[in-house]
Amino acid sequence: MSNSIDFSKYKLSDEKTPINEQLTAHYKRSYAFYTIATRVPIIITNIIDQLTRDKEKIIQRYGEHCRDELKQCIGEISKLKYELQTDKKMTEIPGDESDQYEWNRLLKEIEPNNSYFSSVWLYAECYVYRRLKSIFDETISFGNFDYFEVSKKLELSHSMANIARVLKSVNDFNNTNSGHEKLGNFFRKLLKVNLWGNRNDLSITLGQEIEVSDIDPLADIEEYNKELLVDQTIDIWNCIKIERNDEKIVSFINDNAGYELLCDLVLADFIIHHKLAKKIRFYVKSIPWFISDVLPTDFRYTLDELRKHDKEVLREAGSRWESYLREGIFELIEPAHMFFTSPFEYYKMEKIAPELYHNIAEAHLVIFKGDLNYRKLLADTNWDTTTEFRTSLSGFEPTNLCALRTIKADLISGLQPGVADRLWEEEGSKWMSTGKYGVIQFIHKRVFTQ
């Protein structure tokens, strides 16, 4: 698709992103360029196709009076695609949502680099999803419409068999009398299952159905170790195992609904069962985001589907998790904070959203899930791959923090010397975009005394 566009007038640079610069589609030899030029337009086209295909169903659900509004939305989405493909300035976010002021302030601040191909990739890509939402917000009927709901629900139903196998193994483990070392080893395996669950992401398949193979994710977990480029599971275990049975909170900054969320719930359940924390917090998104990200409605739908499932092991888990939610052992943060659907790098959180920062800081451990969260942690910057993970967080250390991320974008930190060079040699740029490789990284919060 990108071939049909004449990019010569956009003054792009036929280079890779220089080291220490923020990623931008301005550099043609970057995944940012490929995403803005090709992937995002395909995603937008797929949304238009789906709305057109499901038009009658949507009208049936929302009422005949919405026919014109739906047509108007489809028109506005096509216009958004045109603006992106012709590298227009990103226009102000309309409406009166609480995030609007910060969005528009940023768009102003980055001038003249506030077009799709000149801005930081993170800003431009997030902007597309935020604009999509404002298109529906401008209507009378579609304020709560989740245009990604159908694909998320399908992905969830396809994930049930594999998660049932994981739950069965967890139950077996919980029923054996295992010592501390075995508990640690099992916890570390669950972290890995959780990491690879991040491969199940509808934005990487451009919204197309994810092929799910029938596997036992826990049984084969160590086979993927060669693709795990940084493994700090031992540090995470050492962090969480201390002071058992106390008042600890563990928080998830969630990513995708479906299989990945199920993996999050399994890990959370295990932490509670073994009294490694007393409460788990889940931070999800407030608006449809990068196709498959979890919304509060997806979270509740997931528990509901589990509770009603034919398989006993799923029904039991669903009921238990619903009761955890009622009792506050699982805490779904609602309304979801709009900082997570803002364009901002995480090191800016303390200043822009101090109440969120302090809420996250209450946890003993916070787990950042997925590629987009990783990009925000690293400020969408092309760090030298051997830069220390802590350095690449630019001072963001609300608490003990870990990132579980399969690699889908061309930035990373914390690698050993030689690792990136070898992968570039063996696989070219592909190693950074398919989610084949992953990292589990961790930092201890430092305590500074005056």
Ligand X SMILES: O=P(O)(O)OC[C@H]1O[C@](O)(CO)[C@@H](O)[C@@H]1O
- The contact set with ligand X (CB under 6 A) reads 35, 125, 198, 201, 203-204, 255-256, 290, 370-372, 375, 408-409
Closest approach of Cβ 125 to ligand X, in Å? 6
Closest approach of Cβ 182 to ligand X, in Å? 31
Say if CB 343 and CB 379 are below 8 A apart.
Answer: no
Backbone angles phi and psi of 209, in degrees to 5: -50, 140
Closest approach of Cβ 122 to ligand X, in Å? 8
Considering beta carbons, is residue 201 or 298 the nearer one to ligand X? 201
> Within 212-311, where are the H helices?
233-241, 259-273, 296-307
Closest approach of Cβ 253 to ligand X, in Å? 10
Count of beta carbons in the 10 Å neighbourhood of residue 241? 14
Q: Partners of 251 in the beta sheet?
A: 281, 366
Closest approach of Cβ 294 to ligand X, in Å? 10
Considering beta carbons, is residue 29 or 445 the nearer one to ligand X? 29
Considering beta carbons, is residue 236 or 439 the nearer one to ligand X? 439
Closest approach of Cβ 211 to ligand X, in Å? 17
Considering beta carbons, is residue 164 or 415 the nearer one to ligand X? 415
Closest approach of Cβ 291 to ligand X, in Å? 8
Contacts 24+ apart (CB under 8 A), 236-239: 236/188, 236/191, 236/365, 236/402, 236/440, 236/442, 237/184, 237/187, 237/188, 239/364, 239/365, 239/400, 239/442, 239/444
Rounded distance, CA 419 to CA 3, Å?
33
Considering beta carbons, is residue 204 or 402 the nearer one to ligand X? 204
Could you tell me which residues come within 8 angstroms of residue 107 by beta carbon, excluding any fewer than 6 positions away?
A: 90, 91, 92, 93, 114
Rounded distance, CA 24 to CA 32, Å?
6
Rounded distance, CA 127 to CA 287, Å?
12
> Which residue, chain included where needed, has tokens 């305590």?
447
* Burial class for 99, CB neighbours closer than 10 Å (0-12, 13-18, 19+): buried
